[in-house]
Amino acid sequence: MKKLVLFLAAIALISSYCWAAELEYFQVYKPKEGMTADEIMQIEYFVKYTRFAHDVDMDGKAYFIDKSGSTRERETARLRITLGRKSDDIAYKDLVMFTSPQVKGLATLTWTYMDPKRQSDSWLWVPSLKKIKKISQANADDSFMGSDFTNEDILTRRFEDETYKLIKEENFKGYTCEHDKKIYFKNAPCFVIEAKPKNSPWYYSKRILWVDKNTGGGIYEEMYDPLGRMFKVIFKDYEIIKVNGKDYPEQILLEVKDLRTGHRTVIINTDIKFETGLSEDLFSERALTQTRW
Amino acid sequence: MKKFVLLLLVCLLAGFAYADERLQLNGYIKNETGLRATDKNYPQKLKNIIELAGQYSIKDDELVFFAKAKYFYDSAYAKDKLDMAAHYMEHIQRTEWLRDCYLDYTEGPWFLRLGKQQVAWGQSDGVAVLDKVNPVDLREYWLPDMVDIRIPLWMFNINYSPKLNSNLQLLVIPDFEESQVAPIGAPFTIRAYQIFDNIMKIPNSRWNINQHFPGRRLNHATYGLQWSDRIGGTDYTLNFLYGPYSTARNTTIQTGLNFKVDRDYKLWRVYGGSFNKTITNPGLLQGITLRGDFAWYNDEPTYYGDPAAGSTKGIARWNNKFWLIGVDKNVLTRWTVSLQYAQYIMEHKLAKNNTLPASQQIAMNAFTYGVQDQLENIFTLRISSHFMNDRIKPEVLWSFTDDNQGKLSPKVSYEIKDNLFLTLGWHYFYGAAADSNGQFSHQSQIYTQLKYTF
């Protein structure tokens, strides 16, 4: 009997993995009742990295706010092309250009691979050198461009990096955004997932995520340090953008607060355009050298 | 009047910027203060800089005009200590105020950038192995950013991409500017110039100096060709450059107290290549970036002579090699370590058909008139980090050679508030007087930079 249970559990695991692995690019998925934690998180990552769309073009504004209220701003223009191409293992390519005066011209090109164990390739256009520098992928636990997000939070964390457990399903109590004082997602039905990193020791011991049943997007998460203390909270608001009859959920507001320092970061994405037919040529070193600033 | 015109231009452009979103403007004002940190202290610079850049999209991203202008005034040269060098150091020189002025045209695989610009080749950081397209302004030695060191040139920069991730670049540069060094009396006057100036002060000497700029002929223009591509995760380039050497080489004929000096810009060629690769696959080396440059300098004009007497005897045209390999790695969450090793290998062939003793045919460093080693080993180590959400950025750059000479440059930048940055730093030079860095061992500098961007 024990063997049978183990066998069935193994079958369930394998089938869950297969289902997860079969998530095809350029489709829109929504979580359903009865899904496992792994299935829900596959969709959450799918939404996070906009794998449903061939390309996206957006502007962004980031505010870095320290506990005294002093605010610094950065503006970016961001392009992404999703390829999901097995022949050269490329999942997607990102181009982020800083457009605000402090670092005007600074631009990064990143190619992310489908193999979850493979690090990304990155190039940086450095205005003070007027030159491209090939750079190593930043450490996963390092700050993402000076924000309170880590690189892993924004760019490099993959589905395969954690194990997941569905804790409960509940209506989200709502999040009061410090940036605009609005209450978001009050009573939104959510899956509550516990995610534990496979890396150990790691800078966090677990994340508790609230995944919106409506879109599959993670709307709120609490991060806990190795001693089990909550040290960071992340909130994400989404907009559903209709493209060719499909509903594309995209993050339009992100707020993260580091509870240890009181510093927080707000990122607002605007002018989001999907499926504009971006050419892959834009995501090349040559395109980076065409930067003028 | 000039200042008024500049101000008017700024206001007009700003007005257009609000009126037309096709126009983007950006700029900064900056103060750079440098204090000599060895022997007698005195200000080496009190420089106020304004830079303004503008971009106008004539036809979306297809046709874009870009220009950048810069002006500075260095009041340190109004003081007695440095006033002798004021003419070349106090204000921006000649056409150098125009840093960029070009038209970009993009159509399918073609990209054309026509006008005044800089082109940087190679993967090295702070060591110019392939970065030879533009001449350099060394009036503050190699201390400023490379974007301020390169002297922009008017050129045709034509690019064609036959396939994804590849590019063929052709440069046709009819323009010529010579590389600049600091004048006599400036903090970073090179030793070779100082020695030459001392000889010129010999009582009753008469000097006939003839400067032979490259002729305005097609075979005296500069041409560049670069092929770049990616194979198996490695980016590489193949490079070729032909044109006049950007620094004049002097041939001096002495008859009694009469000196005839011919300053020529010899034609030379650079053949080379570069590569970079990040190890992305799992393993011990994952996360390491490797990069490198290789150059073969064909017919590089090199002085030979008697370094002990500080006198050149002639110019040899040697085939020299310069290669560099760099390794970069992010470590311990927020630290980046970057190490470079380079070798400059001189051909060191004694000149033919001359009767000079071997002691007067020694290769000479053009900057110091010291001995130029046949093999120069160059190392650089850069360690950088960031704290407080990128608000504080410390960095140390140590560059040195196997001659026990070098430069140590620690600095820390602090973003005081949005758009306002303060940098504090130190350039510490050490080594013998006849070495590239050692010649400035009495000019170590503590500096501050205050920059406001808009």
Q: For chain B, what percent of residues have pLDDT higher than 70?
A: 95
Considering the domain architecture, whether residues B344 and B415 belong to the same structural domain is answered as no
Q: Is A244 on the interface with B (CB under 8 A)?
A: no
Q: Nearest by CB to B417, which of A70, A128, A129?
A: A70
Q: What residue numbers bound the domain in which B137 lies? A: 108-374
Q: Is A290 on the interface with B (CB under 8 A)?
A: yes
What count of other Cβ atoms lies within 10 Å of the Cβ of residue B204? 6
Q: Which residue among B327, B342, B374 closes a domain? A: B374
In this prediction, residue B38 has a pLDDT band, given cuts at 50, 70 and 90, of confident
Residue B362, domain member (yes or no) = yes
What is the average pLDDT across A101-129?
91
Indicate whether B5 pLDDT > 80. no
Q: Is B165 on the interface with A (CB under 8 A)?
A: yes
Exposure string (b/e) for A138-170, b if CB count within 10 Å is 16 or more?
A: bbbbbbbbbbbbbbbbebbbebebbebebeeee
Indicate whether A20 pLDDT > 60. no
Considering the domain architecture, whether residues B176 and B296 belong to the same structural domain is answered as yes
Q: Which residue among B321, B346, B374 closes a domain? A: B374
Task: Measure the CA–CA gap between B29 and B420, rounded to whole angstroms.
Answer: 10
Size of interface A-B (CB pairs under 8 A): 134
What is the average pLDDT across B377-404?
96
- In tens, the pLDDT along B119-172 reads 999 999 999 999 999 999 999 999 999 999 999 999 999 999 999 999 999 999
Indicate whether B304 pLDDT > 70. yes
Ramachandran area for residue A130 (φ above 0: left; ψ -120 to 50: alpha; else beta)? left
Q: Is A79 on the interface with B (CB under 8 A)?
A: no
Considering the domain architecture, whether residues B284 and B204 belong to the same structural domain is answered as yes
Residue B78, domain member (yes or no) = no
- In tens, the pLDDT along A159-211 reads 999 999 999 999 999 999 999 999 999 999 999 999 999 988 899 999 999 99
Instruction: Mark which residues 332-391 of B lie under 8 Å from A by CB.
Output: 332-334, 386, 389-391
Task: Measure the CA–CA gap between B386 and B185, rounded to whole angstroms.
Answer: 38
Considering the domain architecture, whether residues B317 and B255 belong to the same structural domain is answered as yes
Considering the domain architecture, whether residues B311 and B389 belong to the same structural domain is answered as no
| Domain count of the fold of chain B | 2
List chain B residues with CB under 8 Å of A135. Answer: 278, 289, 328
Instruction: Mark which residues 87-146 of B lie under 8 Å from A by CB.
Output: 100, 104, 106, 109, 111, 113, 118, 120, 123, 125, 145-146
Q: Nearest by CB to B287, which of A115, A136, A280?
A: A136
Residue B37, domain member (yes or no) = no
Concatenate the DSSP letters of all residues of B293-344 into one string.
EEEEEEEEEEEEEETTTTEEEEEEEEEEEEEEEEEEEEETTTEEEEEEEEEE
Task: Determine the residue of chain B that is closest to A128 in CA distance.
Answer: B147
Beta bridge partners, A126, equal: A131
In this prediction, residue A22 has a pLDDT band, given cuts at 50, 70 and 90, of low
Concatenate the DSSP letters of all residues of A196-207 into one string.
EESSSS-S-SEE
State the DSSP H helix or E strand holding residue B10, giving kind and residue range, or none if neither.
helix B2-19
Contact A122, A133 (CB under 8 A): no
In this prediction, residue B61 has a pLDDT band, given cuts at 50, 70 and 90, of confident
pLDDT given for residue A145 in this prediction: 86
Q: Nearest by CB to B276, which of A134, A142, A284?
A: A134
Q: What is the mean pLDDT of chain A?
A: 90
Task: Determine the residue of chain B that is closest to A90 in CA distance.
Answer: B233
Which one has a higher pLDDT value, B6 or B401?
B401
Considering the domain architecture, whether residues B441 and B368 belong to the same structural domain is answered as no
Residue B152, domain member (yes or no) = yes
Contact A71, B417 (CB under 8 A): no
Pairing of strands B267-278, B234-244: antiparallel
Q: Is A121 on the interface with B (CB under 8 A)?
A: yes
**Are A129 and B145 inside 8 Å of each other by CB?**
yes
Distance from CA of A139 to the nearest CA of B (A): 5
Task: Measure the CA–CA gap between B429 and A140, rounded to whole angstroms.
Answer: 37
Which one has a higher pLDDT value, B59 or B12?
B59
Spacing of C-alpha B264 from chain mean position: 21
List chain A residues with CB under 8 Å of B277. Answer: 134
Pairing of strands B43-59, B335-345: unpaired
Q: For chain B, what percent of residues have pLDDT higher than 90?
A: 74
- In tens, the pLDDT along B80-98 reads 777 788 888 888 777 789 9
Q: Nearest by CB to B453, which of A101, A117, A129?
A: A101
pLDDT given for residue B353 in this prediction: 66
**Are A130 and B146 inside 8 Å of each other by CB?**
yes
Exposure string (b/e) for B387-410, b if CB count within 10 Å is 16 or more?
A: eebbbebebbbebbbebebbbbbe
**Are A128 and B147 inside 8 Å of each other by CB?**
yes
Considering the domain architecture, whether residues B209 and B357 belong to the same structural domain is answered as yes
**Measured CA angle at A108 (ends A106, A114), to 5 deg:** 170
List, in order of start, the domains of chain A with CATH numbers: 31-289 (2.50.20.10)
- What global pTM score does this model have? 0.90
Which one has a higher pLDDT value, B295 or A101?
B295
In this prediction, residue B291 has a pLDDT band, given cuts at 50, 70 and 90, of very high
Task: Determine the residue of chain A that is closest to B165 in CA distance.
Answer: A284
Considering the domain architecture, whether residues B215 and B260 belong to the same structural domain is answered as yes
State the DSSP H helix or E strand holding residue B391, giving kind and residue range, or none if neither.
none
What is the average pLDDT across B302-328?
91
Which one has a higher pLDDT value, B90 or A226?
A226
Task: Measure the CA–CA gap between B400 and B407, rounded to whole angstroms.
Answer: 6
Residue B434, domain member (yes or no) = yes
Indicate whether A9 pLDDT > 50. no
Q: Is A73 on the interface with B (CB under 8 A)?
A: yes
Considering the domain architecture, whether residues B112 and B232 belong to the same structural domain is answered as yes
Task: Determine the residue of chain B that is closest to A280 in CA distance.
Answer: B164
Q: Which residue among B323, B353, B374 closes a domain? A: B374
**Are A136 and B125 inside 8 Å of each other by CB?**
no
Contact A107, A282 (CB under 8 A): no
What count of other Cβ atoms lies within 10 Å of the Cβ of residue A261? 14
B393-399 long-range Cβ contacts below 8 angstroms, 24+ apart: B397/B126, B399/B126, B399/B127, B399/B437
Ramachandran area for residue B195 (φ above 0: left; ψ -120 to 50: alpha; else beta)? alpha
Contact B238, B257 (CB under 8 A): no
Residue B26, domain member (yes or no) = no
In this prediction, residue B216 has a pLDDT band, given cuts at 50, 70 and 90, of confident
Q: What is the mean pLDDT of chain B?
A: 91
Task: Determine the residue of chain B that is closest to A140 in CA distance.
Answer: B333
Pairing of strands A71-85, A55-65: antiparallel
pLDDT given for residue B111 in this prediction: 97
Residue B22, domain member (yes or no) = no
Contact B429, B450 (CB under 8 A): no
ipTM field: 0.90
**Are B147 and A130 inside 8 Å of each other by CB?**
yes
Considering the domain architecture, whether residues B369 and B435 belong to the same structural domain is answered as no
List chain B residues with CB under 8 Å of A292. Answer: 53, 55, 64, 66, 100, 104
Contact B30, B49 (CB under 8 A): yes
Task: Measure the CA–CA gap between A53 and A274, rounded to whole angstroms.
Answer: 7
Pairing of strands A218-224, B98-107: unpaired
Residue B319, domain member (yes or no) = yes
Indicate whether A2 pLDDT > 60. no
**Encoded tokens for B180:** 């600049």
Q: Is B150 on the interface with A (CB under 8 A)?
A: yes
Considering the domain architecture, whether residues B349 and B280 belong to the same structural domain is answered as yes
Considering the domain architecture, whether residues B341 and B240 belong to the same structural domain is answered as yes
